[in-house]
Chain A
């Protein structure tokens, strides 16, 4: 694996090639749990230039294990940014035209305050003393940053998966602060199946003796095996049966016959083990617990007497909702529920289900129809906004 050298502990100490802003002081951030939280740091990356009337800003919201490095090499792994295919000069999210902001979510581990950050009250990492967050809390923190940057209205908020949830949250609670919204492979709530998968991941982490009740940093340990298993399990849910079969089939890993043992005989096993072991170098186990929890608590309709349309009443935001046909983690039906709610308030909405066998992860991949749709939507919307 290519590494550029930075480790998670160095990042926790603030060594990162990105912007950072301290927020939540003196006025703190009031979390859904009722806790007043602050001060905290938001680490963020920007691409392109903000125009004079500050009307060309796009906020990109990352998924569960993403970060602010959407379009430049990752400081830990050295790999291209997670949305390098989408964001850049001349690309779909064209940084020659737009000012792109991507923040590391609150609770994350890439420079934004999270459970691995130092609690100023104790001088030690928060660990499980970190407050439990919601998607709405993450969005509130992002909004404080956008306020601080002096941007009255974002041209668009765009994100996939958990990022899509944040997009919907932005549109629902801060609709006057964005012109358009692009939730991709998202949902307005976490289903029982979504929660179930997350719970398995959390159990894997907390069952690892090196987790130390969340105090592994203090003990000089890290629950590598537990976090790796959580990642392996989650990774399966990001793909589809067809994609797994196309990629690996039943092929054996560097051998001609099965070994009648429990080594990684199959390529798919080897692949998952690799995914697990590389993940732990760039992600914090407690962040994984907190962020998955935030996703589990997500249910937009619940705050509107079970009627999702209530979350979008009188919205002026222009929506482009995208789902993928083989995504069984956040299936098309979830996006359609959002679209129907938007129809119910006669909102301005486009919706497309992209035919692909790549599963949930399709939003990160080279998916020409996705790129074509987004380019069309952004161009059309930019014309309306007077950006082109």
Chain B
């Protein structure tokens, strides 16, 4: 049953979450890992009649979600995915969290095991500005911004768009959709074979499934 409180319109969502929401079919079962304050889940529950579940590390985030009537557990992608049964969800969402996990490969394997689809978004460390920053500035860039430096960057496993596509190939995953956002949040289509996407896309959003 959809309920009104806590519902968030699509336009209020962070740009990458907007693209993620567009990939999700109404009425489906969704697990959002690293769901923050539950904005995406609340939107999906209210506007798309989705059975919405989440995992979030911070106490504030979990509290905000629970207060919205969402089912969210305090935990993280590295430790709390193993127990879910196969294909428990239609979509498992990992928004801007993959690079912060200890074992991204195992996490990605779990996503496509638990969900019929996985939706993964991440910042692209292959973006031309990142490359230029290292080349010209001689310092390790922090793609996610947020005032971090190399020593406290939560992205402990940085990857480029191309790195990610190669991992998907290694895990035998199909890329069903791939979108990019440039730094002005303009949406682009990712061509996984080409090099231009890897240069231009600041953020990438992939819809994946097992082959």
Q: Residue B185 at the A interface, CB < 8 A?
A: no
Q: Are A344 and B73 in contact (CB under 8 A)?
A: no
13 contacts between A and B (CB under 8 A): A341-B83, A343-B73, A344-B83, A344-B85, A349-B71, A349-B73, A350-B66, A350-B70, A351-B74, A352-B73, A376-B67, A380-B5, A383-B3
Q: Are B3 and A384 in contact (CB under 8 A)?
A: yes
B70 to chain A, nearest CB (A): 7
Tell me which of A341, A344, A380, A383 contacts B66 (CB under 8 A): A380
Residues in B with CB closer than 8 Å to A339 are 73, 75, 80
B64 to chain A, nearest CB (A): 8
Bin the interface of chain A by size: 20 to 34
Q: Are B69 and A381 in contact (CB under 8 A)?
A: yes
Scan B53-76; emit 1 where CB is below 8 A from any A CB, else 0.
Answer: 100000100110111111111110
Give 4 closest A-B pairs by Cβ, nearest first.
A380-B69, A376-B67, A351-B73, A340-B83
Given contacts A321-B73, A340-B80, 17 further A-B contacts (CB under 8 A): A320-B66, A345-B85, A346-B88, A348-B71, A351-B72, A351-B75, A353-B59, A355-B59, A369-B63, A372-B63, A376-B67, A376-B68, A379-B69, A380-B3, A380-B69, A380-B70, A381-B69
Q: Residue B1 at the A interface, CB < 8 A?
A: yes
What residues make up the interface of B, taking CB atoms closer than 8 Å to A?
Answer: 1, 3, 5, 53, 59, 62-63, 65-75, 80, 83-85, 88-89
Tell me which of B1, B67, B85, B89 contacts A375 (CB under 8 A): B67
A222 to chain B, nearest CB (A): 45
Assess A343 versus B84: contact at CB under 8 Å? Given A348-B53, A349-B71, A373-B66. Answer: yes
Residues in B with CB closer than 8 Å to A354 are 59
B2 to chain A, nearest CB (A): 10
Residues in B with CB closer than 8 Å to A376 are 63, 66-69
Scan A356-388; emit 1 where CB is below 8 A from any B CB, else 0.
Answer: 000000000000010011011101110110000
Q: Which residue of B lies closest to A374 (CB)?
A: B66
Q: Which residue of B lies closest to A320 (CB)?
A: B66
Residues in A with CB closer than 8 Å to B68 are 376, 380
Q: Residue A293 at the B interface, CB < 8 A?
A: no
Within 8 A of B (CB), among A320-335: 320-321
Q: Are B1 and A352 in contact (CB under 8 A)?
A: no
What residues make up the interface of A, taking CB atoms closer than 8 Å to B?
Answer: 309, 318, 320-321, 336, 339-341, 343-346, 348-355, 369, 372-373, 375-377, 379-381, 383-384
Measured between alpha carbons, how far is A116 from B68 in the docked complex, in Å?
Answer: 46
Assess A384 versus B84: contact at CB under 8 Å? Given A348-B53, A352-B74. Answer: no
Q: Which residue of A lies closest to B72 (CB)?
A: A350
Tell me which of B5, B75, B83 contacts A383 (CB under 8 A): B5
A113 to chain B, nearest CB (A): 38
Q: Are B69 and A383 in contact (CB under 8 A)?
A: yes
Q: Which residue of A lies closest to B89 (CB)?
A: A346
Measured between alpha carbons, how far is A372 from B67 in the docked complex, in Å?
Answer: 8
Measured between alpha carbons, how far is A345 from B75 in the docked complex, in Å?
Answer: 17
Measured between alpha carbons, how far is A373 from B84 in the docked complex, in Å?
Answer: 24
B185 to chain A, nearest CB (A): 31
Residues in B with CB closer than 8 Å to A318 are 71
B173 to chain A, nearest CB (A): 22
Residues in A with CB closer than 8 Å to B72 are 350-351
Q: Which residue of B lies closest to A386 (CB)?
A: B1
Q: Which residue of A lies closest to B3 (CB)?
A: A383
Tell me which of B59, B71, B89 contacts A350 (CB under 8 A): B71
Q: Are A346 and B85 in contact (CB under 8 A)?
A: yes
A67 to chain B, nearest CB (A): 29
Residues in B with CB closer than 8 Å to A377 are 66-67, 69
Q: Are A384 and B74 in contact (CB under 8 A)?
A: no
Residues in A with CB closer than 8 Å to B83 are 309, 340-341, 343-344
Measured between alpha carbons, how far is A375 from B80 in the docked complex, in Å?
Answer: 25
Measured between alpha carbons, how far is A315 from B117 in the docked complex, in Å?
Answer: 24
Residues in B with CB closer than 8 Å to A309 are 83
